[in-house]
């Protein structure tokens, strides 16, 4: 998955998280409005404070203006009083001087007062800082103060200018002494007013509230300022049409208010300004305090939101984790909450559900185990059945194989039997036919040989048939075998007489008896000797011995012997261990019948090859041990053993 896809998935996970949404909702509902509050309130308060500040500045400007106006106009009134009340024009020059001096002394705003006649000539002049002598008097003709006052018959207020001798700004005012009868102006009082008191007045306002109050003339030139240098520099303040947030005298954003003073034709403007930061200081301070408090409250709010969120979400996460663990198999998992709220109820419900689930699963497991046990038992039975069936199948297969083997052996047996019988029968028929047909041609000796051969072949056929009958009766339990004391030596001698020329050595204890069926015994010995003659070596010996209650009759030959793997199989019916070339094929029943007969007689027949000799050992029970046990084997038929 690409990095972008991963980020997208993570982003979706975060945004869809209940924790995230919960916090956003809480922040949106609580904290954000809380943060908005100081901004809105602060802005509103700032605007109100600004308006209030403008109003206050206007009030200050008006107050200062009034004071300035009062000061200036008051001085003109003083001049008026001199004329109207003190009747200045009616006094002598000396007295006028005294009057003017009195006014000068009493009102420190006057720097100089001059009484000028209708022609503009100074009649009397007094000054604060110099002695004015008669020859110091001059003419004011042409000066605006005189001319305007005289012509208009109204008080004149001149511009403010810095007087270098007085070292301070002065303002020229003039009062026309109007003759009320004719309207003429016989004299004008021209005074230089000190603007320095105005500086002091302006400075007082500045000192108290970081407020700047200054006075400008109609051209905007600063004529009154607490800082005289600004007046001397003739700074210009461009006034706005409206009061409010405006640049101050030094360009700082300020709250500015102006009040115009109309002094005759002279217009002065009182400007009151306060730096915006100072004007809104209270608001700013309040805003900052509000901001800090709000930030603190927001911090507490966020902390509370985080805490509440954690208290709500964390248990849910724990619950989810517990559910995961339960799903993973830990049914002992429990939330074990002690909370009394809804989260606690959820936790307890979860624990109850988990307990019930555990109980149900345990019960199911028991039932499953029981059922499994049953199924397993059944399965075991089935498996046992299957095993038995398999065993049976194997047995059947074995039987089938055996049947097949038997069929094959039967076929072989029939083939062998037919072959075995055909040969002697052919001999018998041949010899008999020859005797019949050519009896006269043979001499008596030849006739006896022919008869002997016919008899011998007939005996062989009889033996073969006898073996077949024994084998058949043994399978059907119709074989009767006696176990009577039998002289072994006699039996051996009988067999030797039947099968002569085979055994080269015989060692038999005379009178040794064993429990046997004499006929069957001779049948067994005959088979063994015939086998030795057919398949064994040239030297065949018979020895009989007795040991531990048994009589052992051993037929040995020095033939090649059989491999150990065939020592038992040679006793299987229709089994032929080897077929010597030139020897007639056997049926394969001789040893089988011999063992059957031996065991019916209570003994056994075995083969071994030792010391270079094949040894067939017939063991019988010694009659000395059980002479009374003259037993007869099971079966209904008499023995057909020829004697």
Q: Is 293 in the site for another protein (CB under 8 A)?
A: yes
**Backbone phi, psi, residue 503, to 5°:** -80, 130
Indicate the residue among 163 and 572 with the shorter CB distance to another protein.
163
CA dihedral sign, ordered 556, 562, 567, 573? negative
Least Cβ distance, residue 168 to another protein (angstroms): 7
Q: Is 299 in the site for another protein (CB under 8 A)?
A: yes
**Any bridge partners for residue 262, and if so which?**
267
- Of 125-133, 431-439, 448-456, 476-484, the window that binds another protein (rule: CB under 8 A) is 125-133
User: Looking only at residues 213 through 232 of this chain, which bind another protein when binding is defined by CB under 8 A?
Assistant: 226-229, 232
Q: Which residues of 102-114 are buried (b: 16+ CB within 10 A; e: fewer)?
A: ebbeebebbbbbb
Indicate the residue among 284 and 633 with the shorter CB distance to another protein.
284
Q: Is 442 in the site for another protein (CB under 8 A)?
A: no
Indicate the residue among 208 and 548 with the shorter CB distance to another protein.
208
- Of 63-71, 294-302, 456-464, 487-495, the window that binds another protein (rule: CB under 8 A) is 294-302
Each residue 149-168 as x (binds another protein by CB under 8 A) or -, in order, gives -------------x-xxxxx
Selected from 292, 314, 321, 380, the binder of another protein by CB under 8 A is 292
Q: Is 108 in the site for another protein (CB under 8 A)?
A: yes
Least Cβ distance, residue 379 to another protein (angstroms): 58
Q: Is 339 in the site for another protein (CB under 8 A)?
A: no
**Which residue in the block uniquely carries the two structure tokens 């307990």?**
355
Indicate the residue among 194 and 600 with the shorter CB distance to another protein.
194
Selected from 6, 13, 105, 392, the binder of another protein by CB under 8 A is 105
Least Cβ distance, residue 71 to another protein (angstroms): 16
Q: How far is CA 43 from the centre of its chain?
A: 50
Which residues lie closer than 8 Å to 302 by C-beta, 6 or more apart? 27, 31
Indicate the residue among 20 and 101 with the shorter CB distance to another protein.
101
Residues binding another protein: number (CB under 8 A): 44
Indicate the residue among 82 and 514 with the shorter CB distance to another protein.
82
Q: Is 509 in the site for another protein (CB under 8 A)?
A: no
Q: How many CB atoms lie within 10 A of CB 626?
A: 15
Q: Is 98 in the site for another protein (CB under 8 A)?
A: yes
Which residues lie closer than 8 Å to 622 by C-beta, 6 or more apart? 513, 514, 515, 546, 549, 550, 551
Indicate the residue among 148 and 211 with the shorter CB distance to another protein.
211
Indicate the residue among 248 and 573 with the shorter CB distance to another protein.
248
Spatial separation of the C-alpha atoms in residues 170 and 231, rounded to whole Å: 12
Which residues lie closer than 8 Å to 438 by C-beta, 6 or more apart? none
Structure tokens at 116: 């000028």
Query: Which of 535, 603, 538, 540 has the alpha carbon at shortest distance from 566?
Result: 535
Indicate the residue among 182 and 208 with the shorter CB distance to another protein.
208
Distance linking the first and last C-alpha atoms of the chain: 104
Q: How far is CA 448 from CA 135, 212, 430, 445, 500, in A?
A: 223, 182, 15, 5, 18
CA dihedral sign, ordered 594, 599, 601, 607? positive
Least Cβ distance, residue 226 to another protein (angstroms): 7
Spatial separation of the C-alpha atoms in residues 94 and 111, rounded to whole Å: 19
Hey, which bits of 80-166 come out as E strands? 110-117, 122-127, 156-163
| DSSP per position, 501-565 | TSEEEEE--TT-EEEE-HHHHHHHHHHHHHHHHHHS-S-EEEEEEEETTEEEEEEEE-S----GG
Indicate the residue among 168 and 550 with the shorter CB distance to another protein.
168
Spatial separation of the C-alpha atoms in residues 372 and 363, rounded to whole Å: 13
Least Cβ distance, residue 244 to another protein (angstroms): 26
Selected from 10, 15, 296, 353, the binder of another protein by CB under 8 A is 296
Selected from 9, 36, 200, 386, the binder of another protein by CB under 8 A is 200
Q: Is 236 in the site for another protein (CB under 8 A)?
A: no
Indicate the residue among 169 and 559 with the shorter CB distance to another protein.
169
Q: Is 338 in the site for another protein (CB under 8 A)?
A: no
User: Looking only at residues 127 through 146 of this chain, which bind another protein when binding is defined by CB under 8 A?
Assistant: 127-131, 133-136
User: Looking only at residues 477 through 496 of this chain, which bind another protein when binding is defined by CB under 8 A?
Assistant: none
Q: Is 106 in the site for another protein (CB under 8 A)?
A: yes
Q: Is 183 left (phi over 0), alpha (psi -120 to 50) or beta?
A: left
Selected from 25, 39, 288, 327, the binder of another protein by CB under 8 A is 288
Specify whether the CB–CB gap between 553 and 492 falls below 8 A.
yes
Binding site for another protein (CB under 8 A): 98, 101-102, 105-106, 108, 127-131, 133-136, 162, 164-168, 196, 200, 203, 207-208, 226-229, 232-233, 285, 288-289, 291-293, 295-296, 299-300, 303, 307
């Amino acid at each position: 998955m690409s990095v972008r896809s991963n980020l997208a998935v993570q982003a979706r996970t975060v945004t869809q998280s209940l924790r995230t949404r919960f916090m956003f909702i809480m922040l949106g509902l609580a904290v954000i409005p809380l943060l908005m509050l100081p901004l809105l309130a602060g802005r509103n308060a700032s605007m109100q404070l600004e308006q209030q500040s403008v109003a206050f500045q206007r009030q200050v400007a008006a107050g200062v203006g009034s004071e300035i106006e009062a000061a200036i106009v008051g001085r003109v009134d003083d001049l008026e009083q001199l004329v109207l009340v003190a009747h200045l024009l009616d006094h002598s020059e000396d007295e006028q001087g005294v009057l003017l001096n009195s006014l000068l002394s009493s009102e420190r705003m006057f720097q100089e007062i001059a009484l000028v006649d209708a022609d503009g000539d100074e009649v009397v002049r007094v000054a604060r800082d110099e002695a004015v002598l008669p020859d110091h008097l001059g003419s004011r003709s042409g000066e605006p103060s005189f001319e305007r006052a005289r012509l208009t018959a109204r008080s004149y207020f001149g511009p403010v200018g810095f007087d270098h001798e007085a070292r301070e700004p002065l303002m020229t005012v003039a009062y026309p002494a109007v003759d009320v009868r004719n309207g003429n102006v016989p004299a004008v009082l021209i005074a230089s007013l000190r603007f320095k008191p105005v500086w002091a007045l302006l400075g007082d306002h500045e000192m108290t509230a970081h407020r700047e109050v200054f006075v400008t003339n109609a051209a905007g030139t600063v004529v009154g300022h607490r800082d005289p240098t600004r007046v001397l520099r003739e700074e210009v303040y461009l006034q706005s049409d409206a009061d409010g947030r405006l640049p101050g005298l030094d360009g700082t954003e300020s709250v500015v208010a102006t009040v115009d003073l109309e002094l005759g034709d002279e217009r002065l403007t009182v400007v009151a300004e306060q730096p915006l930061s100072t004007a809104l200081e209270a608001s700013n301070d309040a805003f900052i305090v509000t901001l800090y408090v709000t930030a603190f409250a927001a911090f507490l709010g966020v902390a509370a939101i985080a805490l509440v969120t954690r208290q709500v979400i964390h248990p849910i996460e724990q619950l989810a984790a517990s559910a995961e663990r339960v799903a993973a198999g830990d049914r002992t998992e429990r939330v074990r909450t002690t909370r009394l709220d809804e989260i606690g109820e959820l936790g307890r419900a979860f624990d109850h559900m988990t307990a019930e689930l555990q109980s149900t699963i345990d019960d199911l497991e028991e039932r499953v185990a029981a059922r499994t046990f049953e199924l397993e038992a059944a399965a075991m039975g089935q498996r046992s059945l299957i095993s038995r069936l398999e065993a049976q199948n194997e047995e059947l297969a074995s039987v089938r194989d055996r049947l097949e083997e038997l069929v094959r052996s039967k076929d072989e047996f029939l083939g062998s039997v037919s072959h075995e019988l055909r040969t002697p029968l052919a001999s018998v028929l041949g010899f008999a036919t020859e005797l019949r047909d050519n009896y006269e041609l043979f001499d008596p000796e030849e006739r006896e040989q022919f008869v002997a051969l016919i008899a011998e072949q007939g005996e062989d056929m009889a033996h073969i048939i006898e073996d077949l009958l024994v084998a058949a009766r043994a399978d059907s339990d119709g074989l009767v075998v006696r176990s009577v004391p039998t002289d072994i030596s006699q039996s051996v001698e009988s067999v030797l007489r039947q099968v002569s020329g085979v055994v080269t050595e015989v060692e038999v204890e005379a009178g040794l008896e064993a429990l046997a069926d004499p006929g069957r015994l001779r049948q067994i010995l005959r088979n063994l000797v015939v086998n030795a003659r057919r398949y064994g070596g040239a030297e065949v010996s018979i020895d009989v011995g007795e040991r531990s209650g048994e009589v052992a009759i051993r037929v040995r030959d020095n033939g090649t012997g059989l491999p150990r793997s065939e020592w038992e199989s040679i006793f299987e019916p229709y089994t032929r261990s080897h077929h010597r070339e030139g020897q007639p094929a056997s049926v394969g029943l001789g040893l089988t019948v011999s063992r059957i007969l031996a065991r019916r007689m209570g003994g056994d027949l075995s083969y071994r090859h030792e010391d270079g000799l094949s040894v067939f050992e017939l063991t019988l029970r010694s009659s000395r041990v059980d002479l009374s046990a003259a037993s007869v084997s099971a079966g209904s038929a008499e023995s057909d053993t020829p004697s």
